[in-house]
Amino acid sequence: MDVLATVTVSFLAVLVSFLRMAAALIVSVLFSIVVGTAAGVNKSFEKVAVPVLDILQSIPILGFFPVAIQVFYAASPMFGAELAAIFLIFTSQVWNITFAVYESTRFIQPELLDVANSMRMSAFERFRHIYLPACLPRIVRNFQPSWANGMFFIVGAEILSFGDVELKLFGVGTLVSEFAVAGDLLGIVTVLLILVAATIMVNVLLFIPLGTMFETAGPPSPGLLRRFAFIKKLAKPFQTTLATPVISFFEYQRSVSGLVNKVSVLGSLVRNLIFLILIGFLATLAITRGNEFFGSLYQTLGRVGVDNLLSSAVFSFVRVMGAVGFSVAWSIPAAVAIARRPQLSTAVTTVFQVVASIPVTIVYPLFAETLKDQPELRAFVMILAATQWYVFFQVLAGLKNIPRSELEVADMLQLKTWTRIRMVYLPRALPALITGCITAAGGAWNGLVVAERLVLGDLVAETNLPGLGKLLSQLTYAGDLLGSVSVLIVMSSIVVLMNRFFWKKLYDMVASKLKIE
Amino acid sequence: MDDAILKVVDVSHSYYTKKGAVLEVIKNMSFDVKYGEFLGIVGQSGSGKTTLLKIMAGLIKPLSGKVLYKGKPVTGPTPAISLVFQEPVLFPWLTVLENVVLALKRVENISKDEMIVKAQSFLDMVGLSGFENSYPGELSGGMKQRVVLARALVTNPDVLLMDEPFSNLDPLTAISLRREIDMLRQHETLPPTSVVLVSHNVEEIVELSDRVLVLTSRPAQVTGEIVIDMAKPRDRRTPRFYEYVDAIFTLMS
């Protein structure tokens, strides 16, 4: 392939992948507005929807492979592959947006609803003038993290296989894997450059202005943004002027950790089990049409092996905690260093958010040769990519939210740098740090499915040591539905148990120590 | 040497609003704080009083003009000038004692034990013995403001600046705290030499001040000065008291 052809095909691949991402994002927003508003308005729907959302968001993308293939591909082989891919991207973008909508419609001032009642507003008017404006600001702020999350798993969405069915769609993921298999370094670099440029453009031209749109009620912004002014107009009643700039990753955090807080521990464990077992086994029953169902169940457990599951869980656990620990170790000093310098922190935030949207899975082929003999290091770097930003942005947000008066007192008392960090910054950053870790750990568990075993078409990179992500990936690509369901159950149970018995406990301990609510 | 411990010389300050407009808060302000005096500064809400105090404390750099402490320019916070904010700001994760000790960390040649003894004695002075190990969240508003006062005084400042310290307290607590500040002032040996109290509450100002400066609203400028020649403690119900109050109101409007 000559250079021009490489550039053209790379450009097209990025374009096609971005269109897929955009389509999934639009579907995510529509889904979120419908489901989120319904959950926010209707109490009985809320009781069902919130726990289900909590389960769904804890399932890594591979868990949706069977659904994507059985539902979309089976329904229409012609468009099915495309729909399946969009569906998979959707599953990695949607949950934080849905929860943001739910939360913003659920906690609308009751007075406002009283007024709506007294004015006899119709359901549509209510939606148009109250619910929609209430949730729009948080929807647009969730775009950026959702996009970043979708890009992280784009390879999985574009090259999906389940047993005998293998679908390969034209896009960045596929193209990079082809270049990687062919050893075409120039090709990889070309795709990456175009992808990075496109990511920067989407962020700078769209997400960042959209995210900051609701911050100030100034005159309409120039250029492209004016076209989106209708969003701002729609949300007019809920516009607030925020003192600190919004960090969209923080929004994501708020959505996900909010979700975690809504569900009780035992409840969510039990529901997780029931839900996964039910869906998993029902799906299996449907697929196998009941043939030798129980036989295959028995076989599965024998094949996967309980000891295998447990040792995989232990190794994955160590990887996840290692990544979280590493993120904490660099996030605190970095955030402390920039938090009090507004211009620097705005710049760093912008750069980091863009960097976070560049999928490490696509960058990997560039370093495939170097990292070939270091599978654990590769896995670690990839988990880190799915982890560290949440910790960093959360700590930064925590530091930025330190009350002004406390900083003035610190100035007044001429606290030396170390005393200031120890007595003022760290206590204020700690609760934020823990919520950051919760989301980060959740992201890390989801990220394991590509980190421990990255499938880039014919290029497969996996860790030598066992891991749940590796196991899930192997079973899923081999088409072993029961096997993947059992791994999913183990994985999501660990996440729930960790949230409840470690992170939540830690948070409560810190909160009581710091005398904060 | 003149009789001013703190001199505000031709200070002006403005803020930029979000739309980029310039908001003049203080304009060409000059006045002295004399040795040993209790100076009251009264002005309407939003007249830049807080900004003025922060400039005097070295927390904010004025756009033009300067503040001189004993003849030397104030370039940043110093233990010699303490500021009590309107809200009692204490760190909730530190005990009352630790909050006060925090102010002593900048003092050189003082051991940890000495710090604790000193902080303790100032907590006793503001009537908080027995609360050393409580956390701010367990204290009432008035008690918190006392802790703040102890923290402001523990470094033996020459000048104590107070920004409406009574405005967030319930009336009874405010009365007793005012009394205590008055009593502390009677102590010959105790710091601070001079006190500056900023408030929009005219009665409060008249009750405590030796001299009162009246400010115009934004941009703040000194429009008048009244020396209050009454023995302390002052009774608010005397006609003399109200003559001063009226005089100040006349200057304010």
Q: What is the pLDDT of residue A28?
A: 94
Contacts of B91 in chain A (CB under 8 A): 406, 409, 423-424, 427
Domain B1-80+194-253 fold? Rossmann fold (3.40.50)
Contacts of B94 in chain A (CB under 8 A): 423
Q: What is the pLDDT of residue A264?
A: 53
Q: What is the pLDDT of residue A256?
A: 55
Report DSSP letters for A152-195, one per residue: HTHHHHHEEEETTEEEE-SSHHHHHHHHHHHT-HHHHHHHHHHH
Separation CA A144–CA A449 (nearest Å) = 22
SS3 for chain B is CCCEEEEEEEEEEEEECCCCCEEEEEEEEEEEEECCCEEEEECCCCCCHHHHHHHHHCCCCCCEEEEEECCEECCCCECCEEEECCCCCCCCCCCHHHHHHHCCCCCCCCCHHHHHHHHHHHHHHCCCCCCCCCCHHHCCHHHHHHHHHHHHHCCCCCEEEEECCCCCCCHHHHHHHHHHHHHHHHCCCCCCCEEEEEECCHHHHHHHCCEEEEECCCCECEEEEEECCCCCCCCCCCHHHHHHHHHHHHHHC
Contacts of B19 in chain A (CB under 8 A): 218
Taking an 8 Å cut-off on Cβ atoms, the answer to whether B91 and A411 are in contact is no
CA distance B95 to chain A (A): 10
Instruction: Please provide the size of chain B in residues.
Output: 253
ipTM tops the 0.90 cut: no
What angle separates helix A43-58 from helix A3-41, to the nearest 10 degrees? 150
Question: Which CATH number is B86-156+166-192 given?
Answer: 3.40.50.300
Work out how many domains chain A is built from and give that number.
Answer: 1
Phi and psi, residue A272, nearest 5°: -55, -50
Residue from B102, B104, B145, B149 whose CB has the most chain A CBs within 10 Å, to mutate: B102
> Taking a C-beta distance cutoff of 8 angstroms, is the pair A33, A135 a contact?
yes
Selection from B144, B143, B137, B126 nearest residue B88 by Cα? B144
Reported as a single tens digit per residue, the pLDDT across B229-241 is: 877 777 778 888 8
Report DSSP letters for A84-97, one per residue: HHHHHHHHHHHHHH
Establish whether domains B1-80+194-253 and B86-156+166-192 are of one fold: yes
Q: Where are the alpha helices (DSSP H) in A42-171?
A: 43-58, 65-67, 74-75, 77-106, 110-118, 123-126, 132-152, 154-158
Q: How far is CA A349 from CA A53, A395, A440, A503, B135, in A?
A: 29, 12, 17, 26, 35
Contacts of A411 in chain B (CB under 8 A): 59, 77
Separation CA A130–CA B195 (nearest Å) = 53
Phi and psi, residue B211, nearest 5°: -145, 145
Residue from B78, B84, B93 whose CB has the most chain A CBs within 10 Å, to mutate: B93
Range(s) of the domain holding residue A34: 3-514
Reported as a single tens digit per residue, the pLDDT across A324-342 is: 999 999 999 998 888 888 7
Query: Which one-letter amino acid corresponds to residue B175?
Result: I
Q: What is the pLDDT of residue A234?
A: 54
> Taking a C-beta distance cutoff of 8 angstroms, is the pair B84, B160 a contact?
yes
Report DSSP letters for A302-366, one per residue: HHH-HHHHHHHHHHHHHHHHHHHHHHHHHHHHHHHHHHT-HHHHHHHHHHHHHHHHS-HHHHHHH
Token look-up 């993290």 returns A145
Tokens, residue A85: 């891919």
Of A415, A416, A515, the CB nearest to B93: A515
Reported as a single tens digit per residue, the pLDDT across A10-54 is: 999 999 999 999 999 999 999 999 998 898 888 888 877 877 777
Most distant CA atoms of chain B, gap in Å: 53
C-alpha A124, offset from chain centre: 31
Taking an 8 Å cut-off on Cβ atoms, the answer to whether B92 and A411 are in contact is no
Selection from B5, B30, B4, B19 nearest residue B220 by Cα? B30
Of B18, B77, B91, the CB nearest to A411: B77
Separation CA B123–CA B107 (nearest Å) = 18
Reported as a single tens digit per residue, the pLDDT across A357-396 is: 788 888 887 777 777 788 888 888 888 888 888 888 888 8
> Taking a C-beta distance cutoff of 8 angstroms, is the pair A447, A382 a contact?
yes
Of B57, B59, B105, the CB nearest to A415: B105
Kindly compute the dihedral angle of the four CA atoms of residues A349, A351, A356, A358, in this order, to the nearest 10 degrees: 160
Which residues make beta-bridge pairs with B97?
none
Tokens, residue A423: 């007595």
Residue from A212, A215, A412 whose CB has the most chain B CBs within 10 Å, to mutate: A412
Check residues B217 and A248 and name the one with the higher pLDDT: B217
Q: What is the pLDDT of residue A33?
A: 92
Residues of chain A with pLDDT under 50: 216-225, 237-246
CA distance B26 to chain A (A): 20
Nearest CA in chain B to A404: B89
> A20 Cβ partners below 8 Å, 6+ apart?
A82, A85, A86, A89, A154, A157, A158, A169, A171
The percentage of chain B sitting over the pLDDT mark of 70, rounded to a whole number, equals 95
Q: Before B239, cis peptide (omega within 30)?
A: no
Separation CA B230–CA B209 (nearest Å) = 10
Domain ranges of chain B: 1-80+194-253, 86-156+166-192
Reported as a single tens digit per residue, the pLDDT across A187-218 is: 888 888 998 899 888 888 887 777 666 654 44
Check residues B18 and A111 and name the one with the higher pLDDT: A111
What angle separates helix A248-262 from helix A77-106, to the nearest 10 degrees? 80
Return contacts of B96-101, CB within 8 angstroms, 24+ apart.
B96/B123, B96/B128, B96/B131, B96/B132, B96/B133, B96/B134, B96/B135, B96/B136, B96/B139, B96/B147, B97/B123, B97/B132, B97/B133, B99/B136, B99/B147, B99/B151, B100/B147, B100/B150, B100/B151, B100/B154
C-alpha A11, offset from chain centre: 26
Q: Is the pLDDT of residue B2 over 80?
A: no
Say if A342 is an interface residue toward chain B (CB within 8 Å). Answer: no
Tokens, residue A222: 């120039």
Taking an 8 Å cut-off on Cβ atoms, the answer to whether A516 and B91 are in contact is no
Q: 3-class DSSP state for residue A243?
A: coil
Question: Which pairing describes strands B159-163 and B222-227: parallel, antiparallel, or unpaired?
Answer: unpaired
Tokens, residue A416: 């030396």
Q: What is the pLDDT of residue A282?
A: 63
> Taking a C-beta distance cutoff of 8 angstroms, is the pair A446, A401 a contact?
no
Residue from A241, A402, A413 whose CB has the most chain B CBs within 10 Å, to mutate: A413
Contacts of B102 in chain A (CB under 8 A): 413, 415, 419, 423
> Taking a C-beta distance cutoff of 8 angstroms, is the pair B103, B151 a contact?
yes
Separation CA A410–CA A422 (nearest Å) = 12
> Taking a C-beta distance cutoff of 8 angstroms, is the pair A388, A330 a contact?
yes
H/E segment holding residue A393: helix A388-400
CATH code, domain with A263: 1.10.3720.10
Contacts of A423 in chain B (CB under 8 A): 91, 94, 102
> Taking a C-beta distance cutoff of 8 angstroms, is the pair B183, B233 a contact?
no
> Taking a C-beta distance cutoff of 8 angstroms, is the pair A87, A63 a contact?
no
Taking an 8 Å cut-off on Cβ atoms, the answer to whether A515 and B136 are in contact is yes
Tokens, residue B220: 């703040």
Q: Tell me A70's DSSP state.
A: I
